[in-house]
Structure 1
Amino acid sequence: MNKTILGLVLLLFLFSSAFSLREPRILIIGDSISIGYTPFVKDHFEGKAQVKHNPSNAQHTGTGLKQIDKWLGNKDWDVVQFNWGLWDLAYRHPDAKAYGMRDKVNGKVTYTVDEYAANLDLLVTAIKAKTDAKLIFVTTTYVPPEEEGRFTDDVQKYNEAAKAIMEKHKVLVNDIYEESVKIHKDYGKGSNDVHYSADGYKKLSEAINSFLEKSLGME
């Protein structure tokens, strides 16, 4: 074998080795619940995968449609995990005194179930056009009964609509709703708050971690 060919073989070997040693890149897009558990996901995958969260809160699907290209950027993601829902099903009124103008008595819902599904359809199409990453949708978490701007029963309606869209697009679904109900009982911030204590977010991260590991073949 002459020196030129030997050099090319060596370069190809080094390139393929470097590529195979690259840590998988995971992008998490989501609301404050995902912001809460992402630090625990990062800790879990330290040395095994790079985990990033979109800047700030992904809010509702309308925000997602405006920002999705920017959030995805030009990086070579291996997994894009995303969730919307809590903001979409929230009722708000300009005169409401609750934080975020939440008011399920006098307010107007951000997006109806059908509007939410239509937005998700557009979002998945946009994500697939931008990246070849494996996609994972995470279902919306529990809403306690005294929450001022959201109805408990709405969550499953929105989740079912989302699952239908994900099935249409062959997107993996990590359904953490039932787990979130159990976790909120012990680690929620109260019967009027959708959020969790640090221990609660750590518990939620376990359901996220195990699903991500399966999707990356790390079991």
Structure 2
Amino acid sequence: MKQKLILIVVLCAILVGFNQDELPNVLIIGDSISLGYTPFVKSALNDKANVVHNKGNAQHTGTGLEKLVEWLGDTQWDVIHFNWGLWDLCYRHPDSKIQGNRDKINGTVTFTPEQYRDNMEALVLRLQKTGAKLIFATTSYVPKDEAGRIANSNKVYNKEALAVMKKYGVTINPLSGVSKKVHKKHAAGSGDVHYTKEGYRLLSISVVEQIENCLEAI
């Protein structure tokens, strides 16, 4: 009897493995915000797609240009949901003692809006070569009192990114607007761009919806 139970468990595991291999592949690229909502996305799409986040934090568009080929690897991606922005618009100064050397008073911005736009265009051109359906998530809310980021500067950078996405026909996930509403009740702290666990769950709803729409079109 014990041997039969073991055999059944093994067969079930094999069948689950086969099923996962047949599912479409979804890649999420982004910073710590995406790292926060990805577990909820994986759970929601467990029986619909293999959801993977790029290794580590995607940081800014400069990091993306450097590591994108590595992140894409040899996998045939069906959907790629991506964002860069919060790191691009951040001001840093080497003498700042605040986490990440953030300092919007004395620091230097990582990339200007114009540089961000150019970098984003280069990234989109490379992503298009994968043949995957692309989804750009607009950069999430920047609150007042954030040490290295100017309040609402995400709007300026989103405007540049949206022009690129429109040019290349990339689907938009309006996460910026969603995040502003979620931030009111579920911010990780005052002046913090991050969220509580419930905040990330709420952000994931929009991500899941956009990915599901793309999966249905495959």
Same fold (TM over 0.5): yes
Q: How does 1:153-164 map to 2 (within 5 A)?
A: 153-164=152-163
Residues in 2 aligned to 1:178 and 1:133: alpha-carbon distance in whole angstroms:
25
Instruction: Output one character per residue of 1:146-181: Cα deviation in whole Å (capped at 9) or x when no partner.
Output: 100001131101001000001111111111111101
Shift in Å, 1:94 = 0.2
Residues in 1 aligned to 2:198 and 2:52: alpha-carbon distance in whole angstroms:
21
Match in the other structure for 1:217? 216
AA partner of residue 125 (structure 1): L
For the 8 Å contact 2:135–2:210, the answer to whether it is kept is: no
Shift in Å, 1:127 = 1.4
1:194 aligns with 2:155: no
1:66 aligns with 2:66: yes
Shift in Å, 1:28 = 0.3
AA partner of residue 128 (structure 2): K
Residues in 1 aligned to 2:134 and 2:209: alpha-carbon distance in whole angstroms:
15
Tell me, what secondary structure is at the counterpart of 1:196?
coil
- The 4+ residue runs of structure 1 with deviation greater than 6 A are none
AA partner of residue 88 (structure 1): D
Q: Judge which range, 54-63 or 151-160, deviates more.
A: 151-160
Tell me, what secondary structure is at the counterpart of 2:26?
strand
1:22 aligns with 2:22: yes
1:98 aligns with 2:98: yes
Residues in 2 aligned to 1:182 and 1:190: alpha-carbon distance in whole angstroms:
15
1:82 aligns with 2:82: yes
Q: % of aligned pairs identical?
A: 51
Instruction: Output one character per residue of 1:48-98: Cα deviation in whole Å (capped at 9) or x when no partner.
Output: 110000000000000000000010011111001110000000000000111
Residues in 2 aligned to 1:75 and 1:104: alpha-carbon distance in whole angstroms:
39
Residues in 1 aligned to 2:206 and 2:160: alpha-carbon distance in whole angstroms:
22
Tell me, what secondary structure is at the counterpart of 1:42?
helix
Tell me, what secondary structure is at the counterpart of 2:23?
coil
Tell me, what secondary structure is at the counterpart of 1:51?
strand
Match in the other structure for 2:138? 139
For the 8 Å contact 2:143–2:152, the answer to whether it is kept is: no
Tell me, what secondary structure is at the counterpart of 1:56?
coil
Shift in Å, 1:191 = 2.4
Residues in 1 aligned to 2:76 and 2:132: alpha-carbon distance in whole angstroms:
8
Structure with max Cα Rg: 1
1:169 aligns with 2:168: yes
Match in the other structure for 2:47? 47
Extract unaligned runs of 5+ from structure 2.
1-17
Match in the other structure for 1:31? 31
TM-score, length of structure 1 as denominator length: 0.88
AA partner of residue 164 (structure 1): A
Match in the other structure for 2:150? 151
Tell me, what secondary structure is at the counterpart of 1:80?
strand
Residues in 2 aligned to 1:202 and 1:210: alpha-carbon distance in whole angstroms:
13
Tell me, what secondary structure is at the counterpart of 1:216?
helix
For the 8 Å contact 2:141–2:152, the answer to whether it is kept is: no
Matched residue count: 199
